[in-house]
C-alpha cells in the first residue's frame, strides 16, 4: 500500500523552536517509522513514508556513528522538541514502549549555536556537522553532496557571519533573516517554508524518501544569543555509494530560492517584493540567486581603441549584445584580463566588456609607464564607453580594480548603474607599507625572503623605491629579475592557501614585467590621488549607487582594514566578508559572493525596469 504519508512541521520563533510530527489517517494501516538518535552532535529524527525494519543500521551508516553509542527509538505519536538556554528536551508519546511519555529524553549540551537541518534524498558518507570555532570551522561537509540549501535565522551581525559560512559551502545555499514566525511543513507531496502572514518562501518539492532533522543546542555563553535560531533545508543528490542504503533513492531537483536582501534590516520587505515579482522570472515565481561561475564563452567582438598619441587599449565584448552593459576592471595595475573574467556574469543578461588597461595584457606599448596614471585610465574607461555607444553601465573591479572602480564612479556617477567591489584597495600609504615594507612578511615569511633578498641591506629602508630602481634599469635582465621577485611575492600571498598555478605566473617574464613595473609606478606615486583619503572623502558622490562589497577576512594583499573603513564610510553598500578566504577572486567563497553580487544587481535592474 502506498501511504498518503506523514507531515512534519517546524515552527521557528524568535525565542523558541517547536517541532511537531503528525500522521495522516492512512498511516494507521501502514504507520510511518520515526528514528531519533541522541549523540554528541545533538538529536537526529528520521521519518520515513513507509515502515522499514532496517532503519537504524541505515541511519548509523549514514551518520558514521557507532550504534552502541546512540539512543534511538521508533514512534508513531506526536513529537515536540523544545530548547532552553541549558538543555534540549525531546518529549515523546511512544506506543512501542522504548520510551514513555513522562520520561522523554533530555540532552544537556554546550554547542556554539542551534542548528536545524532538513536533508531530503539519499545522504551517505559525511553528514553536516558544525565546528566549535565560528570564524574558521562552521561546517565540515563535501561540497559535492549539496544540491540545495536554505538558511534561516534571526537578524544579528553574528548570524550574518554564519549565513556567509553556509553560503560559502555550496553555490546553492540561500539565506535570509526574519523577525516573524517561519513555519516549515513537510508532507508527502510538498515541502514548504512560509512566513507568519502566509507567504511561501520555498515550496513545491516532492519525491523525497526521508527527512533528516538534526537538532543541536546553542551555547548561551557563545557569540550568539539563545533566541537566534537558525535552520537549513538541504536536498541531496542520489548517493555515490548506494550500497550503503537498502532502499532506492530518487534524484531531487532544485526548486525556488529566495533572494537575500541587500541590508539585513530590509530583508522582510525585499522578500515580500520577491514574492510578488513573478514577472521577473516567467517560469519561476522566485528569482534564483546563482553563485556558480558561468560557463566559458567567447567574445562576439574585439578591437583596439587608440586612447592617446602613445597608448592603444585592447577591448572585447561577450554575452548578450543587447544585454545590460558591465565593464570589468582588472587588478594590478598591470594585471590584464583573462577569459575566465567573463564567467562572473550571466551571459544571457549582461553585455560583458573587458579591456586591458594601459601597458597591460594586449594593450600597447607593453609595460609602458609614460602617460599612465589613474586619471588617464578613468578617461580611457569613458572613451571606451562612448566608443561602444553605451549610455551607462555596471562597474566591476577587484583589488586595484576596486580602486579604479571607485575613482571612475566618483568621476562619472551618472554613468554607473551599480558597482561590485572585491579586495578593497584605497591606495593609502599604510596599505602599501603593510604589503611592501614588512607587515605582510609576518604572515608569509617564506614568501617574503626571496622578495627581500633581491635588495641589498643598505637599500631596505624602502623596498618600493629599491624595486623602482631595478624595474626601470637600463639592463633588461635586471628588470626581469626584479619583476619576477615582485610578482611572485604577490602571487604567493594572494590565496589563503597558496595556489601553485597562480604562483607560476611570476615566471612569465612578459606578464611579470608589466605587472611589476606598472604596480610599482603607481605605488611610488601614491596612485596619483590628491590625498591619502581621497577615495573615502568622495563617497558622497556615489552613495546612492547600488553597491556590493566582497572582502576576504584573511586578505594579506589588501587587508580588511580598508574594506572596513569603506564600509563605515558607506554603510548603505552591501558589505560581505568571506570568513575563510584571502585576496584572490578565484577562492571559492569570494567567487560565490561575486557571482551572487552580480545576480543581485541583475534582479534589481529587472525589478526597476529599463
CA–CA gap between residue 458 and residue 197 (Å, rounded): 72
CA–CA gap between residue 162 and residue 175 (Å, rounded): 10
- Of the residues 104, 133, 162, the one at which a domain ends: 133
Nearest CA among 422, 464, 339, 329 for reference residue 384 = 329
**Has residue 57 been placed in a domain?**
yes
Least confident of 101-105, 397-401, 552-556, 602-606: 101-105
CA–CA gap between residue 506 and residue 503 (Å, rounded): 6
pLDDT at 396 (0 to 100): 99
Among 324, 363, 583, 584, the active-site one is 583
The beta strands (E) that lie in 515-604 are given as: 547-552, 574-578
pLDDT at 468 (0 to 100): 98
Please state the pTM of the whole predicted model: 0.58
**Has residue 208 been placed in a domain?**
yes
Same domain as 376, residue 358: yes
Q: Which residue has the higher pLDDT, 178 or 598?
A: 598
Among 356, 380, 555, 580, the active-site one is 555
Least confident of 147-161, 286-300, 507-521, 574-588: 147-161
Buried b (16+ CB within 10 A) or exposed e, 421-459: bbbbbbbbeebbbbbbbebbbeeeeebbeebbebbeeee
Same domain as 384, residue 471: no
**What band does 247 get if pLDDT is binned at 50, 70 and 90?**
very low
**Has residue 166 been placed in a domain?**
yes
All 3 cell numbers of residue 411?
568621476
Residue 583 bears catalytic tag? yes
Nearest CA among 594, 555, 589, 288 for reference residue 420 = 594
385 has a pLDDT exceeding 50: yes
| β 324-329/350-355 pair status | parallel
Least confident of 18-27, 166-175, 453-462, 580-589: 18-27
**What band does 157 get if pLDDT is binned at 50, 70 and 90?**
very low
**Residue 129 belongs to domain spanning:** 8-133
Mean pLDDT (the chain) is 66
**Has residue 289 been placed in a domain?**
no
- How many domains is the chain partitioned into structurally? 4
pLDDT at 289 (0 to 100): 64
Nearest CA among 165, 154, 133 for reference residue 576 = 165
Same domain as 422, residue 557: yes
Same domain as 536, residue 408: yes
| Burial grade of 1 (CB within 10 A; 0-12, 13-18, 19 or more) | exposed
CATH code, domain carrying 570: 3.40.50.1820
Residue 93 bears catalytic tag? no
| β 211-216/115-120 pair status | antiparallel
385-389: long-range contacts, CB 8 A cutoff, minimum separation 24: 385/327, 385/415, 387/305, 388/315, 388/317, 388/325, 388/353
CA–CA gap between residue 32 and residue 304 (Å, rounded): 68
Same domain as 442, residue 420: no
Torsion of CA 58, 61, 67, 71, to 10 degrees: -60
Buried b (16+ CB within 10 A) or exposed e, 37-66: bbbebbbbbbbbbbebeebbebbbbbbebe
Among 216, 232, 399, 411, the active-site one is 399
**What band does 497 get if pLDDT is binned at 50, 70 and 90?**
confident
- Of the residues 133, 165, 188, the one at which a domain ends: 133
CA–CA gap between residue 570 and residue 598 (Å, rounded): 19
| β 79-83/87-92 pair status | antiparallel
The mean pLDDT value for 344-369 works out to: 97
506-513: long-range contacts, CB 8 A cutoff, minimum separation 24: 509/480, 509/483, 509/484, 510/366, 511/336, 511/487, 512/480, 512/483, 512/484, 512/486, 512/487, 513/366, 513/367, 513/479, 513/480, 513/483
Same domain as 539, residue 400: yes
Same domain as 547, residue 522: no
**Has residue 144 been placed in a domain?**
no
Classified as helix, coil or strand, 598 is helix
All 3 cell numbers of residue 525?
606615486
- Of the residues 527, 560, 578, the one at which a domain ends: 527
200 has a pLDDT exceeding 80: no
Same domain as 534, residue 517: no
CATH code, domain carrying 55: 3.10.150
Residue 209 bears catalytic tag? no
What is the phi/psi pair of residue 598, to 5°? -65, -40
**Has residue 294 been placed in a domain?**
no
3-state helix, strand, coil in the chain (%, to 5): 35, 25, 45
Same domain as 360, residue 395: yes
Least confident of 38-47, 93-102, 421-430: 93-102
CATH code, domain carrying 168: 3.70.10.10
201 has a pLDDT exceeding 50: no
**Has residue 382 been placed in a domain?**
yes
Same domain as 53, residue 129: yes
Question: What is the three-state SS of 353-364?
Answer: EEECCCCCCCCE
The mean pLDDT value for 382-407 works out to: 98
Same domain as 123, residue 22: yes
| β 393-398/173-177 pair status | unpaired
**Has residue 503 been placed in a domain?**
yes
- Answer positive or negative: Cα dihedral of 493, 497, 499, 502: negative
Same domain as 461, residue 595: no
Side-chain half-sphere exposure of 65, counting CA atoms within 13 A: 23
Amino acid at each position: 500500500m502506498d501511504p498518503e504519508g506523514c507531515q512534519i512541521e517546524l515552527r521557528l520563533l524568535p525565542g523558541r523552536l517547536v517541532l511537531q510530527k503528525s500522521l495522516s489517517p492512512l498511516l494507521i494501516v501502514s504507520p510511518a517509522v520515526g528514528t531519533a538518535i541522541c549523540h554528541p552532535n545533538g538529536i537526529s529524527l528520521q521519518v520515513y513514508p513507509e515502515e522499514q525494519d532496517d532503519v537504524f543500521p541505515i541511519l548509523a551508516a549514514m551518520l558514521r556513528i557507532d550504534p552502541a553509542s546512540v539512543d534511538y527509538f521508533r514512534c508513531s505519536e506526536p513529537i515536540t522538541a523544545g530548547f532552553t538556554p541549558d538543555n534540549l528536551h525531546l518529549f515523546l508519546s511512544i506506543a512501542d514502549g522504548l520510551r514513555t511519555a513522562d520520561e522523554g529524553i533530555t540532552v544537556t549540551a554546550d554547542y556554539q549555536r542551534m542548528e536545524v537541518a532538513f536533508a531530503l534524498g539519499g545522504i551517505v558518507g559525511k553528514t553536516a556537522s558544525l565546528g566549535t570555532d565560528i570564524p574558521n570551522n562552521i561546517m565540515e561537509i563535501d561540497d559535492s553532496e549539496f544540491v540545495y540549501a536554505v538558511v534561516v535565522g534571526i537578524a544579528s551581525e553574528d548570524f550574518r557571519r554564519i549565513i556567509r559560512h553556509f553560503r560559502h559551502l555550496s553555490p546553492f545555499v540561500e539565506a535570509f533573516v526574519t523577525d516573524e514566525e517561519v513555519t516549515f511543513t513537510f508532507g508527502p507531496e510538498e515541502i514548504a517554508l512560509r512566513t507568519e502572514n502566509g507567504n511561501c518562501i520555498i515550496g513545491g518539492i516532492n519525491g523525497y524518501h526521508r527527512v533528516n532533522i538534526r537538532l543541536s543546542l546553542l551555547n548561551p555563553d557563545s557569540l550568539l544569543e539563545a533566541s537566534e535560531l537558525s535552520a537549513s533545508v538541504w536536498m541531496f543528490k542520489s548517493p555515490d555509494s548506494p550500497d550503503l542504503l537498502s532502499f532506492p533513492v530518487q534524484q531531487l531537483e532544485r526548486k525556488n530560492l529566495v533572494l537575500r536582501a541587500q541590508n539585513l534590516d530590509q530583508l522582510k520587505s525585499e522578500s515580500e517584493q520577491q514574492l510578488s515579482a513573478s514577472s521577473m522570472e516567467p517560469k519561476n515565481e522566485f528569482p534564483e540567486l546563482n553563485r556558480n561561475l558561468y560557463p566559458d564563452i567567447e567574445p562576439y567582438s574585439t578591437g583596439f581603441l587608440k586612447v592617446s598619441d602613445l597608448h592603444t587599449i585592447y577591448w572585447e565584448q561577450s554575452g548578450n549584445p543587447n544585454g545590460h552593459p558591465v565593464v570589468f576592471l582588472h587588478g594590478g595595475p598591470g594585471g590584464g584580463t583573462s577569459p575566465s573574467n567573463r564567467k562572473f556574469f550571466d551571459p544571457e543578461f549582461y553585455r560583458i566588456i573587458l579591456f586591458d588597461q594601459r601597458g597591460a595584457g594586449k594593450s600597447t606599448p607593453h609595460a609602458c609607464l609614460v602617460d599612465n596614471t589613474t586619471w588617464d585610465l578613468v578617461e580611457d574607461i569613458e572613451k571606451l564607453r562612448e566608443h561602444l555607444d553605451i549610455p551607462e553601465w555596471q562597474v566591476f573591479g577587484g583589488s586595484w580594480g576596486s580602486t579604479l572602480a571607485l575613482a571612475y564612479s566618483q568621476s562619472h556617477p551618472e554613468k554607473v548603474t551599480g558597482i561590485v567591489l572585491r579586495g578593497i584597495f584605497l591606495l593609502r600609504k599604510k596599505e602599501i607599507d603593510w604589503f611592501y615594507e614588512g607587515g605582510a612578511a609576518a604572515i608569509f615569511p617564506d614568501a617574503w625572503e626571496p622578495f627581500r633578498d633581491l635588495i641589498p641591506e643598505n637599500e631596505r629602508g624602502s623596498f618600493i623605491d629599491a624595486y623602482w630602481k631595478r624595474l626601470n634599469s637600463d639592463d633588461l635582465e635586471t628588470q626581469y629579475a626584479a619583476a619576477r621577485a615582485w610578482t611572485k611575492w604577490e602571487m604567493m600571498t594572494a590565496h589563503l592557501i597558496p595556489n601553485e598555478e597562480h604562483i607560476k605566473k611570476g615566471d612569465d617574464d612578459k606578464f611579470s614585467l608589466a605587472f611589476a613595473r606598472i604596480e610599482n609606478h603607481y605605488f611610488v606615486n601614491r596612485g596619483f590621488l590628491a590625498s591619502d583619503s581621497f577615495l573615502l572623502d568622495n563617497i558622497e558622490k556615489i552613495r546612492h549607487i547600488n553597491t556590493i562589497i566582497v572582502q576576504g577576512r584573511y586578505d594579506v594583499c589588501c587587508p580588511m582594514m580598508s574594506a572596513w573603513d569603506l564600509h563605515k564610510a558607506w554603510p548603505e553598500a552591501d558589505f560581505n566578508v568571506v570568513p575563510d578566504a584571502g585576496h584572490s577572486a578565484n577562492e571559492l567563497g569570494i567567487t560565490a559572493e561575486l557571482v551572487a553580487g552580480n545576480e543581485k544587481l541583475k534582479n534589481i535592474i529587472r525589478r526597476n525596469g529599463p
